[in-house]
Amino acid sequence: MRYYKLLLLTLIAGFCSYRCAKAQTISKDELIFYTSEWKGERFADGRPKIPDALVERAKKISIEDAWTVLRNEGYNNQFEGGWKLVNDTIPVVGRAVTAMYMPTRPDIEKNIKARGATEGRKGNTNAWPIDVLIKGDVYVADGFGKIRGGTLIGDNLGNSIYNKTGNGVIFDGSARDLQGLKEIPGFNAFVRDFDPSYLEEMILMGLNTPIRIGHAIVLPGDLVISVKEGVLFIPAHLAEKVVATSEFVALRDKFSHAMLKAGTFTTGEIDSQWTNPIREAFLKWLDQNPKDGKMTRAQLDAFMEKRTW
């Protein structure tokens, strides 16, 4: 019995050592497993590749509408608020590249940096996620809320990130060089705070792995929508539905305002399940306002069928 216990402990220790050695990334197969609901194209590393055109459409929708769609689908842990921003007027929208940081310890840091050197990685580990970024990505980092010594970027890395992605960052941590970051045209950072300190006592433990940002769960490839109110992480497989439904809600509201101003329908009629005359009036209104989009009666009925917003 003692022999088998020792054997079991040895196997567990070996497995833990293997997992620690591999903790910085997950395999493509495992990433596909985590995001198995996504049926579309993927990047070489396995990340869902939400189409560029859909990302562009997402820049125009309301975060409140998108949040409501997710809630109706049962996704209740996708929003996080309480941020400080480099620029209040610049949204950050794109596909998530995730990074998980932890408090460091000498043995782990030595091994991770040694392995990084053999892989050709340069600089401190907070620079490594930047190397994998491409246009349209959003660098999302779990910095466990650390402020002093938790400054994951300054203006140098901020410039590098923006040059690669044309986008900003979401950090459950901090940043430094606020004035320098403000001078990067088009860049924004959602952070817990700004601090003059340098990064210290932190190590990258996961790259493109599932992470937690406050109360939200984030997977690589999620569609990130970030505005002044907060940050919403939309699972890739729901991105099309969330965007399309949010677009419809915006159209519905615009039509409703026009009808109420004209006295065509009452508030009670507009705010209830639409009758056939209202639906026909909506489709006619769309024909008269072609820049707002096209929709068939079948598409309209499908949107209205499960109306819970």
> Which of 232, 239, 241, 236 shows the shortest CA–CA distance to 220?
236
Q: In this structure, how many other beta carbons lie within 10 angstroms of the beta carbon of residue 279?
A: 14
User: Packing angle between helix 2-21 and helix 106-118, nearest 10 degrees?
Assistant: 60
Q: How far apart are CA 271 and CA 254, in angstroms?
A: 13
Over the stretch 152-199, which tens digit does the pLDDT of each residue have?
999 999 999 999 999 999 999 999 999 999 999 999 999 999 999 999
Instruction: Tell me how far CA of residue 158 lies from CA of 122, 163, 273, in angstroms.
Output: 17, 9, 48
Output the CA torsion 123→125→131→133 (10° steps).
Answer: -150
Question: Which pLDDT score is estimated for 306?
Answer: 66
Decide: 167 and 138 in contact? Cβ < 8 Å.
yes
pTM over 0.85: yes
As a whole number of angstroms, the distance between CA 297 and CA 305 comes to 12
Cα–Cα dist 290/298, whole Å: 18
Percent of the chain with pLDDT over 70: 91
